[in-house]
Amino acid sequence: MRTGEEKGYETDNKLKKRHLCPSNEFLFLNYPQKCVQETSAPRHDVEWENVFVANSFNFCYAKFVELGKHSNLETVYMPDWFSIKNKITLVSGGSRGIGEMIAAGFLQHGAKVYITSRKAEVCDATAERLQQDYGGECVSLPGDLSKLEGIDDVVTRLHDRESRLDILINNAGASWGAPIMEFPEIGWDKVMDTNVKGLFFLTQKCLPLLREAATYEDPSRVVNIGSVDGIRTPKFENFSYAASKAAVHHLTRQLAARLVRENINVNAIAPGPFPTWMLSGGVGFGGKVDGVDWSIVGKKNPRGRVGTMEDICGLAIYLSSRAGAYTVGETITCDGGSVACSN
């Protein structure tokens, strides 16, 4: 595990004070960005009290005391608490659905993103398209994460390219629906192997890379994608899926308790209805995502709509950034109120 100094961060936590800013511009450097304040004319009436560098919290706090009657203070740019810029991120199941949404949003916000998918041609095509549409660098790492050999292969190829992993998004998932008397063993094993076993062993194999990125000031992050079906009683006969997502939520708490002292934060998101291939099959759209009326599904949600990329990715960014660095072991719903309003 690297220290702040080894990552190139400033680790001086001494209290620093300034009194009476003598010019129209000052620059205060602090990880991860700059805190800049400008005035339109020279100022001698702004006192700086307790300008404090606290790298253990990754932010700077500035209290201004206005001594004069008139103020031409314009803007203060504080460090970006939601930044994931230059973070190395692995999104399993990133070739479609919620995984693709998160990958797209992370690329938009400056992360370097690796995506996995069982089908190599689909994974490659999605990575190329996401990079063209959203910029940044998106790399395809296809592999079957329901099997240990597939996990080993993906992590080996990731390690060949990177010396650290800042963020792991465990999104790869499978579902199966059938009446209780017809539910097959394969429908149980496939879902559990992908959603629970695959999640655990991918996290296990990624731990050396996550440890390399982790510091006290900036923990590595693991975000597991669960489901509201693991919290409430599902509307579909998806017995193995609901049980697997409940397992993901509990496994999240157990992993968080084990890894938090290694500066690795683990949390989960429980999405509600989103316009995905998986939900499309369940609601009668035959697996189609585009060209269907998702408002039919959205009308049944308390918010009156299905989720969007901004909804799911915004929450994932929070959990992966400075803003979420003190959030550990939580399962947060992103469902438009479906759990809160369920009977």
Match 């080993």 to its residue by tokens: 152
Q: What is the DSSP string of 224-269?
A: EE--GGGTS--SS--HHHHHHHHHHHHHHHHHHHHHGGGTEEEEEE
DSSP bridge pairs for 117:
none
For residues 331 and 269, the answer to whether their CB atoms sit within 8 Å is yes
Residue with tokens 């409940």: 246
Residue appearing with tokens 């304040």: 37
CB atoms within 10 A of CB 257: 12
Beta-strand pair 59-66/46-54? antiparallel
Q: Catalytic: which of 31, 241, 318, 326?
A: 241
Active site residue 241: yes
Residues 6+ apart with CB under 8 A from 243: 192, 230
Distance (Å) of CA 179 to CA 236, 281, 322: 9, 15, 45
- Which residues are identified as catalytic? 241
